[in-house]
Structure 1
């Protein structure tokens, strides 16, 4: 049984672009993501602590970024896709008041394992916040 709106391996081609996804960066997203991932580092929820560290504002933690990467790829691939790997690298911080826009493309396929590779980036006003690759197994 294939779930609706799920990409099938045979329908995906290298070079296929994923639709962009804009994520507004808000105080609620940054602090909520930190709390949800049990990351109580003050720079993720306390403005004065973040400023004492030399940051202009609180900043997003990597686990929230990781979850947003997963959301971006999963919205394209659909509910029957299975993550085989997710590898990301952080760049510019995500601060409230900015917007991060994801872009990505299919950059590889392996017919033997029905795996596709997605290369992606999430860019804000300062540059790439996140870059990486995701391997998905598709039905």
Structure 2
């Protein structure tokens, strides 16, 4: 039985250069700041950085992995903060914020060495026997 306040186990996500570039390309985000270190630096960044689509996907996967294979994602609301650069690690954490029948809202955070990369919530629908 899922209850408000239940804490999800933390998950570390190593931020490799390959991951950042590959996920940007996979999501058809060809902005130079996601794959070209020199152009990213020319635009004021210390290095390339992860795109928002990847951040959303990581938050979704984190909650879905916890909720189980029968869970269906209903809503993702994410705010971005500091960038995810290669060579760092983002630690995802979560806590059940509300339960309304099969609807479970999980507050999520992603922290790296610079601070909060993402914060927000992921709402999933879980089978009644699991809720």
Q: Report TM bin, short chain.
A: over 0.9
TM-score (norm 2): 0.95
Aligned match of 1:25:
15
Residue correspondences, number: 127
Aligned match of 1:125:
113
Q: Does 2:100 align with 1:110? A: yes
Out of 13, 23, 37, the residue aligned to residue 3 of structure 2 is 13
TM-score (norm 1): 0.90
Structure 1 unaligned spans of 5+: 1-10
Deviations 1:69-106 (A, max 9, x none): 11111110111001111100000000001100000010
Which residues of 2 match residues 55-134 of structure 1 at below 5 A? 55-111=45-101, 114-134=102-122
SS at match of 2:11: strand
Aligned match of 2:124:
136
CA contact (8 A) 2:64 2:124 kept: no
Structure 2 unaligned spans of 5+: none
